[in-house]
Structure formats: structure tokens, C-alpha cells
């Protein structure tokens, strides 16, 4: 068991933002919410799957939508509690704990807010080991766990509950409702027992994020090379350094989609990198050649601070480093690649593990 208090929350949010590959929502707003809940209701206990009973029921909580919207429209907190309680009421069994469905800026800390307010534990795992843009893109899907009953709530007090025949239908309905709710919704879904999660989830993601965050914080104090510190902490590779030129964005069907174009500096001078995103960073092309794609992780870091940059905060002139690191092995199976590989997102290229290109 580990305790999430105001300090470890900072570490966790920072580390999860690296794993979030630019997505999972704005880390600042999530941190504010979770910090306030810890102040109001006390620290949160985080348990590993092995510390819980196999038949304990876990209901993950998250934000869904285009992170660009969240900068202007802050969740009010009651919305996520409504979603969580709606699933509990629907199932009609006691819920032992909540968990993150993805590592990412907001979605790693939304469950901490819920855990603090409901006085329940957080489970040290997630369903991605990173962030992905669509509902069905969790390891739960690979192991036959249904996303439904899923509840969605908005800040006005509306709640939508669904039971679907598969997780792709969940995504279809939930995406429309997210758009109706103002391009953002708070959600509870993928209820599962600890026994199921031992097989289906990615264990230890939250403590891993905490450890990454701690290393980065320490490096800042010691004035080590921040990008290299992050790279080492995640076991990754430096892919590029450059200055952001054009960023083309569109909010499409409830997603923040687009491409950033980065001009190389230092050793990368003269090269041009294209970073494609859909809420998360999905693919890197250098001078037109694919170099990294999903499911492997792409992080964009501020060259000077090592701070991860979300897809919605990329701006012209930022000096950035691009690092890449291996995804969890569950994503590298044929079923995993079919669910979240480059071809699903429309990139006409086979997945090549990042260590084969940069190792």
C-alpha cells in the first residue's frame, strides 16, 4: 500500500503525463481537482492488485472528450461522482475501489479525486500503460471485459448509462453523447473484479508514474539534463530535437486531431519531423518516413525543463525533444496491434518496435 498525498500526487501527475503521450487531459486541472479533494477529505490509499481480494469489484473513472475543451470548461466534480455512483447503483453491488483507465494528465488523477471524495482506495494499475483516444482501446478489451455498464455525466446534472454488445458500440454511443455534453464528459466504465484485472490490466502503472515523476523532480533540483533524465526513467530513446513550426488542429467528432511540424536543431538540423495526434501522439515521421507509431509511446518534452507537452498545448516556437519508448507487451500481440496499431488510425505502415529502430 502506498499513500497518495499532495507530494506524491505531484510526482504521479508528472510521471503520468509522460506516459500519457500528450493526452489523457490537461494535467494541471486534474491536479488541482485531486489536490483539493485530498485537502478536503484526506490522503488516498493505493493498493496493488495482490493486496486486494479476487472478488473485489473495481470501477474505473475518467474524463472523455477533446482536451482542448477542458482548458475552458472545468469539470465541477459532482459530475464524476454521479457517473461513478450510477454504475454502482446499476450493478447493485458494493464497489471496493476505483482505478485509472489510462495514464495521462487528467485521467491518472480523476480517480484520485473520486477515491478521496468517496473514501475508497485507488488500485495501482490501468488499462493502457499509456493513454489512447478511444474507449475500446484498453487491455480489458483484449481479455473480453465489457466497457458497460458505462455511465456518463455532465456538469449540468445529465447522466447517460449504457449496455452495449461490444466495446466498439460503447465508443460509438459515448462519442456522440460526449459531443452533446459539450465535447467533454465524465465517465465510469469497465467494472471488473480484481481477479479479472490480474489477467487483463496493466499492473503497477500508477506507482511507475510516481517513480518517473520523482526522478524528474529530483533531476530538476540537481540541474541534470532533464530530457535525458526522463528518457532514462522510461527506458526510452531520443528520437529528435527541434523547434515547433506549424501546428494544424481540428476538433472532429469529439476528438482533438491534427499534426505538428517540427524543424530539427542541433544534430537534427535540416530534418523535419511530422507528429500526428488524435488526443494522444500517435505517429512520428521524419523526412516523410515513419519512425515511431502506436502502440509504442511518443513523448514530447520541453528541452529546458523535461516537462511533457500535451497535444493541446503545443505552440509555434516551442523547443522540444521527442522521445519514444516501448509499449506494454500486451499491445504488441496481433490482437493488440489490430486494436491500437498504426493501421487502425489510418497510417499505412506496419508496426515496428521502437527498440528495433533506435536500440
- Residue ranges that bind a copy of itself, judged by CB under 8 A: 86, 90, 156-165, 169, 172-173, 176-177, 179-180
Using CA atoms, how far apart are residues 83 and 78, in angstroms rounded to an integer? 9
Using CA atoms, how far apart are residues 264 and 271, in angstroms rounded to an integer? 5
Using CA atoms, how far apart are residues 354 and 120, in angstroms rounded to an integer? 38
User: Counting beta carbons within 10 angstroms of the beta carbon of residue 157, is it exposed (0 to 12), middle (13 to 18) or buried (19 or more)?
Assistant: exposed
Cβ 97 to a copy of itself, closest distance in Å? Answer: 25
Cβ 150 to a copy of itself, closest distance in Å? Answer: 10
In which residue are the cell numbers 466534480 written? 77
176 vs 333, beta carbon nearer a copy of itself: 176
Using CA atoms, how far apart are residues 47 and 172, in angstroms rounded to an integer? 33
Beta bridge partners of 64: 185
24 vs 65, beta carbon nearer a copy of itself: 65
182 vs 264, beta carbon nearer a copy of itself: 182
Per-position DSSP letters for 3-40, written without gaps between them: EE-HHHHHHHHHHHHHHTTT-SS-HHHHHHHHHHHHHH
Q: 27 is written with which cell numbers?
A: 494535467
48 vs 172, beta carbon nearer a copy of itself: 172
158 vs 199, beta carbon nearer a copy of itself: 158
21 vs 153, beta carbon nearer a copy of itself: 153
Q: 196 is written with which cell numbers?
A: 479479472
Cβ 172 to a copy of itself, closest distance in Å? Answer: 5
157 vs 346, beta carbon nearer a copy of itself: 157
3-state secondary structure of 183: coil
Cβ 168 to a copy of itself, closest distance in Å? Answer: 11
- Residue 71: C-alpha distances to residues 26, 56, 75, 129, 181 (Å): 7, 36, 10, 24, 15
Cβ 55 to a copy of itself, closest distance in Å? Answer: 23
Cβ 254 to a copy of itself, closest distance in Å? Answer: 11
Cβ 148 to a copy of itself, closest distance in Å? Answer: 9
Q: Please, are residues 108 and 11 in contact by the beta-carbon 8 Å criterion?
A: no
Amino acid at each position: 500500500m502506498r499513500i497518495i498525498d499532495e507530494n506524491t500526487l505531484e510526482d504521479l501527475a508528472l510521471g503520468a503525463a509522460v506516459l500519457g503521450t500528450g493526452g489523457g487531459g490537461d494535467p494541471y486541472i486534474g491536479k488541482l481537482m485531486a489536490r483539493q479533494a485530498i485537502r478536503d477529505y484526506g490522503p488516498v490509499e493505493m493498493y496493488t492488485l495482490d493486496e486486494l481480494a479476487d472478488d473485489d469489484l473495481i470501477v474505473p473513472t475518467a474524463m472523455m472528450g477533446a482536451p482542448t475543451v477542458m482548458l475552458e470548461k472545468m469539470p465541477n466534480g459532482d459530475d464524476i461522482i454521479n457517473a461513478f455512483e450510477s454504475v454502482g447503483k446499476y450493478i447493485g453491488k458494493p464497489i471496493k475501489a476505483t482505478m485509472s483507465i489510462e495514464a495521462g494528465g487528467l485521467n491518472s488523477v480523476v480517480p484520485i479525486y473520486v477515491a478521496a471524495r468517496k473514501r475508497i482506495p485507488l488500485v495501482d494499475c490501468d488499462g493502457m500503460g499509456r493513454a489512447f483516444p478511444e474507449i475500446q482501446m484498453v487491455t480489458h478489451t483484449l481479455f473480453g471485459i465489457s466497457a458497460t455498464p458505462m455511465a456518463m455525466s455532465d456538469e449540468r446534472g445529465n447522466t447517460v448509462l449504457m449496455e452495449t454488445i461490444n466495446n466498439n458500440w460503447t465508443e460509438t454511443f459515448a462519442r456522440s453523447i460526449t459531443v452533446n455534453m459539450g465535447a467533454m464528459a465524465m465517465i465510469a466504465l469497465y467494472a471488473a473484479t480484481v481477479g479479472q484485472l490480474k489477467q487483463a490490466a496493466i499492473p503497477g502503472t500508477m506507482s511507475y508514474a510516481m517513480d518517473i515523476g520523482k526522478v524528474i523532480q529530483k533531476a530538476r533540483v540537481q540541474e541534470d539534463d532533464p530530457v535525458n533524465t526522463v528518457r532514462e526513467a522510461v527506458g526510452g530513446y531520443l528520437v529528435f530535437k527541434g523547434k515547433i513550426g506549424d501546428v494544424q488542429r481540428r476538433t472532429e467528432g469529439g476528438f482533438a486531431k491534427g499534426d505538428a511540424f517540427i524543424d530539427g536543431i542541433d544534430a537534427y538540423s535540416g530534418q523535419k519531423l511530422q507528429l500526428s495526434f488524435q488526443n494522444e501522439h500517435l505517429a512520428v515521421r521524419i523526412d516523410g518516413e515513419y519512425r515511431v507509431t502506436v502502440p509504442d509511446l511518443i513523448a514530447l518534452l520541453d528541452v529546458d525543463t523535461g516537462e511533457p507537452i500535451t497535444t493541446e498545448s503545443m505552440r509555434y516556437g516551442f523547443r522540444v525533444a521527442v522521445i519514444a519508448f516501448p509499449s506494454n507487451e500486451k499491445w504488441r500481440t496481433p490482437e493488440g496491434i489490430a486494436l491500437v496499431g498504426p493501421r487502425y488510425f489510418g497510417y499505412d505502415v506496419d508496426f515496428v518496435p521502437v527498440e528495433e529502430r533506435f536500440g
